[in-house]
Structure 1
Amino acid sequence: MSASLTLFYSPTSPYVRKVMVLLHETGQLDAVRLHGVTLTPLNPSAEVNEHNPAGKIPALQLADGSVLHDSRVILDYLDQLHGGEPLIPREGAARWRRLTLASLADAVLDAAILVRYETFLRPEDKRWDDWVLGQCNKIDRALAHFEKSADELGQRFDVAAIGAACALGYLDFRITDLNWRRDYPKLAAWYSSVGQRSSLQATAPAP
């Protein structure tokens, strides 16, 4: 089957990784062509900007040439294309709860990426330690919530679990001095178990 969708993609992007995990879980990998791009805030991609004015990935080009962007939009779109059990509940309280947990996972990613930019891209003499601390505090508050919700996360592997797993994977990948497993043992145990899934193994960024 020829791919009818094109995903603007980088294997190190945790937002892209969420989309890739869903494609693995729902058996849709063959429907999507991966188009690799390299971009940073200082080196945007003209090609990406043409399709997504925000200049961010993932962006998903549909068969008619239109483009979806923001991982949450793309996940929702792809989840409605397959015939299996939805990974985003379609209605009711479960939908809003799981989307809220997924949003909290995105908040972890947003804060972690800001820490990465501040500590890696910004010249050392211009770094703002209080800014980094503020972002780390956001991460800690979110992880504390996930610690209390670890049993809930483990109920099924859906949009909430995908988001949380990709967020924790990004912390391990880019903020290696954050010893979150020490402070959040239930979350660590959940992540250790769910990390054995083939979709997460296949999408893990190379160290």
Structure 2
Amino acid sequence: MTTPLFTRTDTTLGDFSLRPVEPAADATLLHSWVTHPKAVFWLMQDFGLAAVEKEFTRIAADPHHDAFLGLHNGTPAFLMERYDPAHRELVGIHAAAPGDVGMHFLTAPTATPLHGFTRAVITTVMEMLFTDPATHRVVVEPDARNTAVHALNKAVGFEVLRTVSLPSKDAYLSTCTRDQFLATQGDHR
């Protein structure tokens, strides 16, 4: 098992950590998450196990894209991708500035949801991204129909810049600076 690259403790929900995805070892778990109806906006509903492993192997080999498995109290519970928007996702759509980092995240499907869990996950993701002093702004492009993530993004400081048309969706191009994120943290840490 890979050692976590980042860990934070939430005062009410416990420990959250992130480690690199291991495509072969994690493929079965990730397949169950990305093909679940909850993950419709990940556009992998029809992927077989081999296609999921191939996708995460491709990401692992890409110098501008990384995938991380998120753990909650040591148990796999979420997925995060980090990418360079000057090279992936938003090329030709968003003029990436130095210090921009793109991000996607997905919480695992569960029959027993924890109140505040998704907020704790996105807080963990944002804290990890901002531990790199070179990161000045996080950029996201969630599907315009994904109202749940829009509310969550707003809660941690994201500002919608505009709607953009991507090959697979219309998306809300949104950004969050370190200061915008820190201003939202208050009692939610």
In the superposition, the TM-score normalised over structure 2's length comes to 0.28
In the superposition, the TM-score normalised over structure 1's length comes to 0.26
Larger relative helix fraction: 1
Q: Could you say which structure has the larger radius of gyration?
A: 1
Larger relative strand fraction: 2
